[in-house]
Chain A
Amino acid sequence: MANRISQSFAAAQQAGRGILGVFVSAGDPSEALCVDILDEIVAGGADVIELGMPFSDPMADGPAIQAASLRAIKAGMTLEKTLQIAADFRHRHPDIPLILMGYFNPIYIYGRDAFLAKAKEAGVDGLIIVDLPPEEDGELCDPAREAGLDFIRLTTPTTKGGRLTRVLEKAGGFVYYVSITGITGTKSAGADSIKAAVADIRAATELPVVTGFGIRTPEQAAEAATLSDGAIVGSAVVDIIAQNIDDAGVPSADIPQKIGAFVADMAKAIAASGK
């Protein structure tokens, strides 16, 4: 069954390269700038968009995305508005896969069924909900699948053996392999461990595997896309926003173009490295 996500991976494979996924928080640094940022990311050559649903207590995120979340909330972002940003994006970009990423509480408070209906109607393709492991599938994963949304799973270096099977059982879209930053060892050891983990995941699923591991440079993006089926960039993009807000809290108007240029460099490096 072809959908936007599988079509995107198929097209990249045909072109002989991995995909580039880019994360930004909805409403960061403002609703208007976020809309332009999304357009520039697409223009820069991203294949998949991950739109963060801001949460006050993102316990699995580092300082960059914590700050992005808080900026967006402070600027008035809500889940309702996030869904509207998604719907508008879909009108402008009919073919780019759009994933909503975040934590369960705002969805739970919004109302699960209302959220799923609205997300589907908005043209969202999949969900990544960080704090819903398979043990809590009844909360959102099962109903999301019934609503026709892919439930994308994160796996980590600690997801091994039977646990990996369990995590991938209901996974959809693609598998997001998070190679934890801060692990000691050389860069080549990192590449070896990613290679081994990706091989384990491939043995357990037909889904494409993408890597996100604190990718900050085009070289790292190209390496990740070579070792797996793609790379996801988040904190490095969000940092561009943080660096372009002045002391009075006013964001610079050229943030979208700066991000677009950054994404374009990443996309070029991935295209050049091939597979």
Chain B
Amino acid sequence: MEQALNSFQSGPDEDGRFGIHGGRFVAETLMPLILSVEQAYRDAQADPEFEAQLRYYQTHYIGRPSPLYFAERLTDYFGGAKLYFKRDELNHTGAHKINNVLGQALLAKRMGKTKIIAETGAGQHGVATATACALFDLECEVFMGAEDVRRQKPNVDRMRLLGAKVHPVTSGTSTLKDAMNEALRYWVANPETHFYIIGTVAGPHPYPEMVRDFQAIIGKEAKDQMMEAEGRLPDALIACIGGGSNAMGLFHPFLDDKEVDIYGVEAAGHGIDSGLHAASLTGGNPGVLHGNRTYLLQSDDGQITDAHSISAGLDYPGIGPEHAWLHDVGRVNYVSATDEEALKAFQLCSRKEGIIPALEPSHALAFASTFIPKLGKDKVVILNMCGRGDKDLGAVLPMLDERGLL
């Protein structure tokens, strides 16, 4: 913690801790695997060839850098600070997930692994993983809650077309947390051949650090692009948070820039007071799940409770441990937006900017719609547009229709 006074970017420590959060809370069966992933990642970090490979695919396959776009019509509409979008929805596969997946897939290849495991909620991480596996000729098995398989059929079809095998998970509540349990169980049973590509900044050390590093390209680019556009740092950053990988990617390069205010937006579902939400920081408390200590939605007896969000990508009862720590030390402000607010923002952005946002960043937009009008016109804000909304049309259009928003 003392260290944090000098820098917010130095974590985790060698035990994988961010303050009290993080760590390696896994069964012994997984320990040799996790230690070997960490060793391979350290070797890769020290190898300029790995960096060069990653850069090549980021440029020519993902399409980086993603633009920093001045959302002029929304800015006029809100009447406050200038709003910029970091356009990670323009990435190949339509979301930020591919940034991390390509990094881990290249690492898996370095380790001589031939088979990949992934968990997915909304299916974006599953699609990104299936994509990278097609590209690098790796076998791909994706674990997805049976409920999510039903809700996100287009993404299931994409994964299958790309050659992945999708395992519907029926244990527990049949959603993302159960998919992660099942992926971990499968990895335990297949340790020699398989590499587990975790999709967010959670799980046992070194995953939270590694996924953050692969996503930090978002923030690094945004910083340079903002200097070019405005000649200065932004006054605020806004990103949505489920596990928190897009947010961590945008935030991390700015953590030591004290003049930049940072806002993470959790999913408040039907409202925090309703109990039906996915806001682990606002409505949960620290506990241990999926290999790390972090804020969790749980009962008084330490049983994990169901998350609720209109967005399958935010429907997770935990959050990455670095966010948990940034919350504890007060560097990042964690706020929330409800399903209804996200729906309105989804429609607003489509009409004002011609950009159909995913439901996940619609939560960030919902917060922006109340936050930005309060700031002066001389202020500048970056919002991470981390995914596009095509995948959500099936679920969202009937709801917009009901509310007279179409």
Contact = CB atoms under 8 A, between A and B. Distances in A.
B295 to A, nearest CB: 12
Nearest to B192: A158
A182 B28 contact: no
Interface centre among B24, B291, B298, B301 (most CB of A within 10 A): B301
A109 B178 CA distance: 21
A30 interface: no
Interface string B169-192: 001100001101100110011010
Contact of A106 (B28, B185, B303): B303
Contact of A105 (B23, B171, B298): B298
A136 B25 contact: yes
B378 interface: no
A128 to B, nearest CB: 11
Contacts of B31: 133, 135, 163
Interface in A63-97: 63, 66, 70, 73, 78-80
B29 A156 contact: yes
A159 B32 contact: yes
B15 interface: yes
B188 A180 contact: yes
B171 A73 contact: no
Given A79-B302, A105-B287, A135-B24, A59 B181 contact: yes
- Chain B: interface residue count, which band? 35 or more
A59 B301 contact: no
A60 B25 contact: no
B375 interface: no
Contacts of B406: none
A194 to B, nearest CB: 16
Interface in A125-178: 130-133, 135-136, 153-156, 158-160, 163, 167, 178
Given A60-B188, A73-B303, A130-B27, A158 B32 contact: yes
Contact of B29 (A73, A104, A180): A180
Interface in B301-354: 301-305
Nearest to B29: A156
Mostly, the B contact residues are: mixed
B25 A55 contact: no
Contacts of B180: 59
A101 to B, nearest CB: 12
Contact of B15 (A132, A135, A160): A135
B288 A131 contact: yes
Nearest to A107: B302
A135 B302 CA distance: 22
A205 interface: no
Contacts of A136: 23-25
A108 B27 contact: no
A151 B185 CA distance: 23
B113 interface: no
B300 interface: yes
Interface string B23-51: 11111110111000000000000000000
Contacts of A57: 172, 177-178, 181, 289-290, 304
B287 A180 contact: no
Contacts of B33: 158
A73 B301 CA distance: 10
A262 B312 CA distance: 44
A244 interface: no
Contacts of B298: 105, 109
B290 to A, nearest CB: 7
A8 interface: no
B203 to A, nearest CB: 11
Contacts of A79: 301-302
Contact of B288 (A56, A104, A133, A154): A104
A167 B28 contact: yes
A133 B32 contact: no
B32 A109 contact: no
Contact of A154 (B28, B172, B181, B290): B28
A158 B191 CA distance: 8
A130 B32 CA distance: 15
Nearest to B296: A105
Nearest to B293: A108
A121 B171 CA distance: 35
A106 B32 contact: no
A60 B27 contact: yes
Contacts of B25: 104, 131-133, 136
Contacts of A108: 287-288, 293, 302
Contacts of B303: 54-56, 73, 106
A158 B28 CA distance: 9
In the A-B complex, the 7 residue pairs with the closest CB atoms:
A109-B302, A106-B302, A60-B27, A56-B303, A78-B301, A156-B29, A105-B288
12 contacts: A60-B188, A66-B172, A79-B301, A104-B288, A105-B302, A106-B302, A109-B287, A133-B31, A135-B15, A136-B25, A158-B32, A159-B28
Given A59-B290, A178-B29, 8 more contacts: A54-B303, A57-B181, A105-B304, A107-B302, A131-B291, A136-B25, A153-B28, A158-B32
